[in-house]
Amino acid sequence: MGIQSIGIVGAGQMGNGIAHVSALAGYDVVMNDVSQDSLTKAVGLIDKNLTRQVSREKISEDEKNAALGRISTTLKLAELGQCDLIIEAATERETIKQAIFEDLLPHLKPETILTSNTSSISITRLASRTDRPEKFMGFHFMNPVPVMQLVELIRGIATDEPTFKACLEVVERLGKTAASAEDFPAFIVNRILMPMINEAVYTLYEGVGSVKSIDESMKLGANHPMGPLELADFIGLDTCLAIMNVLHDGLADTKYRPCPLLTKYVEAGWLGRKTDRGFYDYRGEVPVPTR
Ligand code: NAD
């Protein structure tokens, strides 16, 4: 039968994007979060983003309505138990993810595949705490999910071939491209991207450049579509810090030391776009650098 239904845990910026593309590809989607506010916002955003796709003639009004009709939301994790595939996309903290899988296990069908959208946490370790490490994988989407083409598929040590193939089929049905990565800290994209972002924060911290000059330098000098600090705000500074900590702890190399200024922004609750302030202040008409 293959995978027909997808349960998504966490309705933040990644969860809502994953729900959007899954429903559009014809999967039944159940989205869960601990916050009703996050669920309500997620459905509103999906509606808005689908409407934008209609106005750009990428999808029809009927396709939009059908996709919205396939998405349901719940505060009860147990209601995801009957899904064929779970994609966990909650906050990047290992204790949170472990607790989610622990709570979910008693409600699952034996054949359900478990995956995590984690940017950096060990898939093997998350899998080992479940009753089905062979049916556990990393399913790592890029942000914004409806726009970005890549999905990293990460096998844990125990992941079996049917599980990998089933996930690969989902990636293809979503119209995306899979890259297979081994289960080492931060996998491929973030192993390369995050040290660059962290270095940009050090460049700011040491006074080598301002927010504006650093971002402009990388856009105009290296042809990056976004500056590294702008990109950090877009990803979320808490997520960036969490990934640097995983690289630092997991590879035990001081070159991955998170910049103290990144830590300071997170301590201030200035997490980037999602809190309206990070390296830029987004509360006005145009983003204004905060340093
Ligand atoms: P976010 O902060 O936007 O959303 C996280 C959501 O998880 C929130 O709505 C929160 O209420 C919810 N949550 C927290 N604890 C929960 C629980 N116990 N049960 C259910 N929901 C819970 O974060 P995000 O940027 O969407 O990141 C989510 C995951 O995706 C992380 O693992 C992150 O590393 C990964 N990721 C993020 C990006 C990115 O660019 N932001 C890219 C790829 C992967």
Q: Quick: pLDDT tens for 36-87.
A: 999 999 999 999 999 999 999 999 999 999 999 999 999 999 999 999 999 9
H or E segment to which residue 167 belongs: helix 161-173
> CB of 65 within 8 A of CB of 23?
no
- Name the residue at shortest CA distance from atom 4 of ligand 1: 12
* 107 part of the active site: no
Which residues on adjacent β-strands are paired with residue 41? none
> Cβ atoms within 10 A of the Cβ of 92, count?
24
Q: How far is the CA of 13 from the centre of ligand 1 (A)?
A: 7
* 20 part of the active site: no
Task: Check pocket membership of 32 for ligand 1, CB cut-off 6 A.
Answer: yes
* Residue 65, both tokens: 């309505």
> CB of 36 within 8 A of CB of 75?
yes
pTM over 0.85: yes
* 140 part of the active site: yes
Which residues on adjacent β-strands are paired with residue 85? 6, 113
- Taking only the tens place, the pLDDT of each residue in 192-246 is 999 999 999 999 999 999 999 999 999 999 999 999 999 999 999 999 999 999 9
**Which residues, other chains included, contact 51 with Cβ-Cβ below 8 Å and sequence gap of 6+?**
64
Residue 1 has pLDDT above 80, yes or no: no
Ligand 1 atom having least distance to the Cα of 274: 3
Residue 120 has pLDDT above 80, yes or no: yes
Coil/strand/helix, residue 152: strand
- Give the mean pLDDT of 154-167: 97
